[in-house]
Structure 1
Amino acid sequence: MQPITLKTGQAPAAVGPYAQGVRLGDLVFCSGQLPIDPTTGNIPADVEGQTRQSLANVAAVLEAGGASLATVVKTTVFLKDMNQFALMNAVYQECFGASVPARSTIEVARLPRDVLVEIEAIAGVATEE
């Protein structure tokens, strides 16, 4: 089984030597997504806007691999300031609804482009039942 490198213009290009995502079998691994609007290159100013944009970028990469936010089994959230956890968490819950995946949230000293949040995900490929 060979991994398939995912690439979509609906999410920002990788800022280093890595793939936006990789599909292997029925799993999609989404690299950490920064809150960069793929069309304008803009970054929202607050953690709520950055969380929303990061999750939109995650969704775009997952869709390129045949998955979606509904099939996410695990996320990792990298947060610049744990004092903003509640603000990030409110948007996160809004995006995932009642079907939330397993998650780790880690406070970090610094993120690329000095953003406030970065989110990565692992999802199953959506199947028709």
Structure 2
Amino acid sequence: MIKHHTDPSMPHSHLPFSPAVQVGNLLFVSGQASVDPTGQIVDDDFEGEMRRAVGNLEAILKHCGSGLDRVVKTQNYLADPKYRDQYNLLYPQLFRQPFPARTTVTKGLSGTLKYEIDCIAVVGEQ
């Protein structure tokens, strides 16, 4: 069974996608960026954008009955390779060991965004 999670309290976008889709006990969360509750981009330095994006991801996970500690895979997008060192310093502050599997793409964003993240997480019983 496929369940599409949407709720006005969840961070959202004006683009055509579901914030999260659940299949069984796996939750697929769409890319989260530095946006406010209305979906407007919040321009910030790299750290501010990364923390806001992961905060938005965490809000969706929580709404769906999961959390950052239940993330099994992240995909991370950096606007520029120059952010790689800062990203690697911030990541273990936001995700704890044992770390989820991870993919990082640089030069993978357009526009003004510096960072975006999506993930796969587990919901329900472990």
Question: Do the structures match in fold with TM over 0.5?
Answer: yes
Q: Give ranges in structure 2 of 5+ residues lacking alignment.
A: none
Q: Counterpart of 1:119?
A: 117
Q: Give ranges in structure 1 of 5+ residues lacking alignment.
A: none
The answer to whether structure 1 residue 12 and structure 2 residue 11 are counterparts is yes
For normalisation by structure 2, the TM-score amounts to 0.88
Q: Counterpart of 1:77?
A: 76
Residue 100 of structure 1, CA deviation: 1.1
Give the 4+ runs in structure 1 shifted more than 6 A: none
Q: Secondary structure at the match of 2:84?
A: helix
Cα gap change, 1:10 to 1:83, in 2 (>3 Å): farther
Residue 16 of structure 1, CA deviation: 1.1
Structure 1 CA distance for aligned equivalents of residues 7 and 95 of structure 2: 22
Q: Secondary structure at the match of 1:91?
A: helix
Instruction: Report how many residues are paired.
Output: 126
5 Å matches for 1:41-56? 41=40, 43-56=42-55
Q: Counterpart of 2:86?
A: 87
Q: CA RMSD in A?
A: 2.0
Structure 1 CA distance for aligned equivalents of residues 43 and 94 of structure 2: 17
Q: Counterpart of 1:65?
A: 64
Question: Identity over the aligned pairs, expressed in percent?
Answer: 32
Residue 67 of structure 1, CA deviation: 1.2
Q: Structure 1 stretch 75-84 or stretch 87-96: which is displaced more?
A: 87-96
